[in-house]
Amino acid sequence: MGNQPSPFFQQLGPAFPTHKPLIGPPPHLPLIRRRRLFSPVHPVLSRPVPPRLRDSALLSPTPLAGTMDGPRSDMGRWGGNPWQPPATPSPEPEPEPDRRSRRGGRSFWARCCSCCSCRNRADDDLGLEPHGDRGSGSRGRRPDSRGSDSRQPGFYRISGVNAAGDGTIREGMLAVTGVDLLSARSEQNRQEHHTDEFEYDELIVRRGQPFCMALLLSRPYESSDHVALELFIGNNPEVGKGTHVVIPVGKGGSAGWKAQVTKASGQTLTLRVHISPNAIIGKFQLTVRTRSKAGEFLLPFDPHIEIYILFNPWCPEDIVYVDHEDWRQEYVLNESGRIYYGTEAQIGERTWNYGQFDHGVLDACLYILDRRGMPYGGRGDPVSVSRVISAMVNSLDDNGVLIGNWSGDYSRGTNPSAWVGSVEILLSYLRTGSSVPYGQCWVFAGVTTTVLRCLGLAARTITNFNSAHDTDTSLTMDIYFDENMKPLEHLNRDSVWNFHVWNDCWMKRPDLPSGFDGWQVVDATPQETSSGIFCCGPCSVESIKNGLVYMKYDTPFIFAEVNSDKVYWQRQDDGSFKIVYVEEKAIGTLIVTKAIGSNMREDVTHIYKHPEGSEAERKAVETAASHGSKPSVYANRDSAEDVAMQVEAQDAVMGQDLTVCVVLTNRGSSQRTVKLHLYLSVTFYTGVTGSVFKESKKEVVLAPGASERVYMPVAYKEYQPHLVDQGAMLLNVSGHVKENGQVLAKQHTFRLRTPDLSLTLLGAAVVGQECEVQIVFKNPLPVTLTNVVFRLEGSGLQRPKILNVGDIGGNETVTLRQTFVPVRPGPRQLIASLDSPQLSQVHGVIQVDVAPAPGGGGFLSDAGGNSHAGETISMASRGGA
């Protein structure tokens, strides 16, 4: 496509379209605005272009080829941000190219943007220095002011310029000639702040904790000298907003900031700087101001002496503090995790590479806040930050990170099932400024976990099975049937997702009454609007558990997802509807996450809801429903229930025949005759169903206390033409008991299991040494898979890599071998996926224990491997059937 915009992206424009393909909110998700739950804390902000983007060719007044045309119609929560989307990306975001062959001396934009570069795109670096030209393109050392690559580690020397007064440096003046932030990953600063895994050479620290630095002076420091550090962030730094911080050395600073001299030796002054636990997070510019008898000196700004400040879950004074070290290791520092999907009875799991420490990811996370136009003064508040992230990870309203697509047509982007991690997505967004196609709930949640952990918030990915989507704020799932108990799909606006994935993040809630600290739900999947924008949370899990739906943010919607009742309504002869059945244990049947310190699954249902059927659980449901749009729903129930119904489904495998079974049990003392209807259709995991492709009607006579099984066999050739994403099917069962009029109703979802990829490591993994992995896949279908694409990714092992393998024949086995070069020691995970139009949701993972480099070397400069975009694997490198 080159630089020409595709017709698809021209359709998108800066505001999201309302065209027929189901791209954006999932199907059956009308844009119903929920009751306004909050007023934005910050007023409308008019922001100039961020300084690190001012020199970018992407902001040229001359329109670029492929630029989205027209101004945005919705400027978002903090409107007024004049930043406009740059050139439209190709539908397939490029993965990271080979880092080992990078050239130095080129700016980030010149390396990354075809508009700014005259070099071959294959040689471009997609994310080395995201903001501005750092001088040297080689990571692992800062540029030498003396023009030599052989300088010893130590001070970054600064040319003799005084930014104060008339710029003259007088004799006897205390000038700063060098700064050493002690920022190497092996230094004490990075290790004590738990930031040594970040693939950055800049200083990255956490608020509420001290760090050390050293100044090289023009003469020895004297007791009469005055030194002050100054930190700046944003476009109009102000002391009152915390965006301009003044820290006098040797004196108490303001709001928890302070700096002390720990050693003065010759012309070197060593300082210990304590960061306020309430500091704004982001990338600060550092300068030094001195005053002596000879006059005042001000160190000019230099991009090589910038500091990243993050939230600190290790600091008791920080409101994101987590009081368990194993929690911090898992929910802040773990770079991979498990995401669960499928159905409650057929749980699937996949490994996700969060990659929060990969180079470029931190800049991408901060860029998300910039792109939203979030005021810098509000970036110290994790409640506001997490809410902005939930809005920005989806593309609606604000051209955020990911375009949602539930249509089944992913030809203009990536099938959501094909992603194996967040790194490729975030670096593509940083590189192009354009939303990445495509995502669904687990992709939105995986990226959100990455962003939250990267910024220092403890976060985990949560899966809720049988997750309700309430569209009318009734806080019940209402399902409508005709007189014969056939579903009335045009009335069934509420839906029950087979599973839904969101995030928990840990923080105190000073904006709520006491008792609501701890886990907070944040959901970036665009389902319903909140205060006019597509975001959700943070919402206290404790308020969800107790049905306190008046607590902010978005508690009614999330409560309905986990603990509403499924209410079945039947149309009567006069056209009215009557409740014929209430299923109380159908929603939020299992809520899980990855366990701490292992790859086991942890059941966290108990923190979201009281035990099903208990008095506390019923009270929570009825309390919540009383605040909904149908407060009297529980007063309209009839019951005469002596026939019970269950649905059983075997473990079905994609490509094979299957059988479903309905079990009827007469618990009464009299004979019962049941007229049973079974309707089978395919369904998206969001609960949206296709047309019925098989149905069955049976009449069953049950003796007192007896049970009967009713079977429905389904052949592969019957369901294959109807399959959609996830290979899920929905069985609607309804029945009528002739003797007492009892109505039976049940919806049962099951999925067709897909095969896994088998990964085998061929040899030991050592930092800096090439290693080989073998991937084996057997096609389970009797049909050819076309345009097969493999993805390979692993933090510290392999930057995102795409492998095109062409076609794979029916029931054929293929074997691929790929090399990579580990760059960080320790236990790592290498993750792979396969995608084709005929088969998706195929993935595999292998644990890789990486040994340090010989001689005790710690880290290499970056993850590499032959990671050029769209590498084609020849047939000769494939295994036979």
Contact partners, residue 807, CB within 8 Å, separation at least 6: 784, 785, 786, 787, 788
Instruction: Give the confidence band of 414 by pLDDT, cuts at 50, 70, 90.
Output: very high
DSSP structure class, residue 752? P
Q: In degrees rounded to 5, what are phi and psi of residue 31?
A: -80, 65
Do 797 and 850 touch, CB atoms closer than 8 A? Answer: yes
Q: For 367-403, write each residue's pLDDT tens digit.
A: 999 999 999 999 999 999 999 999 999 999 889 999 9
CA distances 657 to 338, 577, 712, 724, Å, are 30, 38, 11, 17
| Two tokens, residue 811 | 């029931």
Instruction: Give the confidence band of 42 by pLDDT, cuts at 50, 70, 90.
Output: very low
C-alpha 364/C-alpha 202 separation (Å) is 15
More confident residue, 178 or 631: 178
Instruction: Give the confidence band of 734 by pLDDT, cuts at 50, 70, 90.
Output: confident
Q: Residue 632's pLDDT is what?
A: 52
Residue of 615, 618, 623, 662 lying closest to 643 (CA atoms): 662
Determine how β-strand 842-851 pairs with β-strand 765-766. Answer: parallel
Annotated catalytic residues are 441, 500, 523
Contact partners, residue 432, CB within 8 Å, separation at least 6: 86, 87, 88, 89, 93
- Range among 10-14, 718-722, 868-872 rated most confident: 718-722
Residue of 449, 353, 359 lying closest to 401 (CA atoms): 449
Helices (H), 591-715: 605-608, 615-626
Sign of CA dihedral 326, 332, 334, 339: positive
Mean pLDDT of 303-328: 96
**Which helix (H) or strand (E) is 498 found in, with range?**
strand 495-507
Q: Residue 538's pLDDT is what?
A: 96
Share of the chain above pLDDT 70, in %: 77
3-state secondary structure of 844: strand
Do 520 and 506 touch, CB atoms closer than 8 A? Answer: yes
pLDDT(103) > 60: no
Tell me which amino acid residue 169 is: I
Q: Residue 480's pLDDT is what?
A: 87
Q: Which residues pair with 785 in a beta bridge?
A: 808
Task: For the beta carbon of residue 131, count every other beta carbon within 10 angstroms.
Answer: 21
Q: For 77-97, write each residue's pLDDT tens digit.
A: 333 333 434 433 333 444 444
| Two tokens, residue 533 | 């924008």
C-alpha 660/C-alpha 751 separation (Å) is 12
Instruction: Give the confidence band of 18 by pLDDT, cuts at 50, 70, 90.
Output: very low
Helices (H), 311-421: 325-328, 361-372, 382-392
pLDDT(134) > 60: no
Q: What angle do CA 811, 812, 816 make, to 5 degrees?
A: 140
C-alpha 857/C-alpha 763 separation (Å) is 20
C-alpha 625/C-alpha 602 separation (Å) is 29
pLDDT(168) > 50: yes
pLDDT(270) > 70: yes
Helices (H), 503-579: 541-545, 555-563
Share of the chain above pLDDT 90, in %: 52
3-state secondary structure of 160: coil
CA distances 92 to 88, 371, 802, 866, Å, are 11, 22, 10, 18
pLDDT(582) > 90: no
Residue of 802, 760, 807 lying closest to 781 (CA atoms): 807
More confident residue, 267 or 73: 267
Half-sphere exposure of 314 (CA within 13 A, CB side): 18
C-alpha 623/C-alpha 549 separation (Å) is 8
Q: For 858-878, write each residue's pLDDT tens digit.
A: 666 554 444 445 666 554 444
Contact partners, residue 692, CB within 8 Å, separation at least 6: 679, 680, 681
Q: Where do we find the tokens 């990170």?
A: 401
3-state secondary structure of 878: coil
Q: Residue 604's pLDDT is what?
A: 97
Do 356 and 459 touch, CB atoms closer than 8 A? Answer: no
Q: For 530-581, write each residue's pLDDT tens digit.
A: 888 899 989 999 999 988 888 989 988 898 899 878 888 888 888 888 888 8
Residue of 36, 48, 88, 97 lying closest to 67 (CA atoms): 88
Q: For 751-770, write each residue's pLDDT tens digit.
A: 888 889 999 999 999 999 99
C-alpha 733/C-alpha 714 separation (Å) is 16
Q: Residue 530's pLDDT is what?
A: 83
Q: In degrees rounded to 5, what are phi and psi of residue 720?
A: -55, -45
More confident residue, 482 or 817: 817
Q: How many residues are listed for the chain in this entry?
A: 881
Q: Where do we find the tokens 């079977």?
A: 711
C-alpha 238/C-alpha 228 separation (Å) is 16
Do 445 and 525 touch, CB atoms closer than 8 A? Answer: yes
* Low-confidence winner among 446-455, 544-553, 591-600 (lowest mean pLDDT): 544-553
Q: In degrees rounded to 5, what are phi and psi of residue 717?
A: -70, -20
Do 475 and 631 touch, CB atoms closer than 8 A? Answer: no
Q: What share of the chain is helix, strand, coil (3-state, %, to 5)?
A: 15, 35, 50
Task: For the beta carbon of residue 553, count every other beta carbon within 10 angstroms.
Answer: 25
Q: Where do we find the tokens 């309302």?
A: 18
Q: What angle do CA 156, 158, 163 make, to 5 degrees?
A: 140
Instruction: Give the confidence band of 611 by pLDDT, cuts at 50, 70, 90.
Output: confident
DSSP structure class, residue 483? T
| Two tokens, residue 525 | 């999947």
C-alpha 17/C-alpha 74 separation (Å) is 12
More confident residue, 39 or 810: 810
CA distances 382 to 136, 272, 310, 350, 604, Å, are 34, 26, 11, 29, 23
Instruction: Give the confidence band of 9 by pLDDT, cuts at 50, 70, 90.
Output: very low
C-alpha 192/C-alpha 447 separation (Å) is 27
| Two tokens, residue 31 | 């844009």
Task: Report yes or no on whether pTM surpasses 0.85.
Answer: no
Do 551 and 404 touch, CB atoms closer than 8 A? Answer: no
Determine how β-strand 798-808 pairs with β-strand 871-872. Answer: parallel
Residue of 112, 61, 115 lying closest to 84 (CA atoms): 61
Q: Report the first-to-last Cα separation within the chain, whole angstroms.
A: 36
C-alpha 726/C-alpha 632 separation (Å) is 37
Q: For 214-269, write each residue's pLDDT tens digit.
A: 999 999 999 899 999 999 999 899 999 999 999 999 987 677 899 999 999 999 99
C-alpha 781/C-alpha 812 separation (Å) is 9
Structural Rg of the chain based on CA atoms? 30
Do 752 and 738 touch, CB atoms closer than 8 A? Answer: no
Q: Where do we find the tokens 């993994």?
A: 765
- Range among 199-203, 302-306, 496-500, 582-586 rated most confident: 199-203
Determine how β-strand 258-265 pairs with β-strand 244-248. Answer: unpaired
pLDDT(34) > 60: no
Q: Residue 863's pLDDT is what?
A: 45
Q: How much is the mean pLDDT over the chain?
A: 80
C-alpha 379/C-alpha 367 separation (Å) is 13
DSSP structure class, residue 9? H
Tell me which amino acid residue 843 is: H
What burial letters (b/e) apply to 815-828, b meaning 16+ CB within 10 Å? ebebebbbbbbeeb
C-alpha 524/C-alpha 502 separation (Å) is 7
Q: Residue 53's pLDDT is what?
A: 31
Task: For the beta carbon of residue 97, count every other beta carbon within 10 angstroms.
Answer: 23
More confident residue, 101 or 235: 235
Determine how β-strand 176-180 pairs with β-strand 210-217. Answer: antiparallel
Residue of 552, 457, 564, 469 lying closest to 503 (CA atoms): 457
- Following DSSP, what letter does each residue of 331-350 receive, concatenated? III--EEEEEEE-SSSEEEE
Q: Residue 398's pLDDT is what?
A: 87
**Which helix (H) or strand (E) is 538 found in, with range?**
none
Determine how β-strand 643-649 pairs with β-strand 658-666. Answer: antiparallel
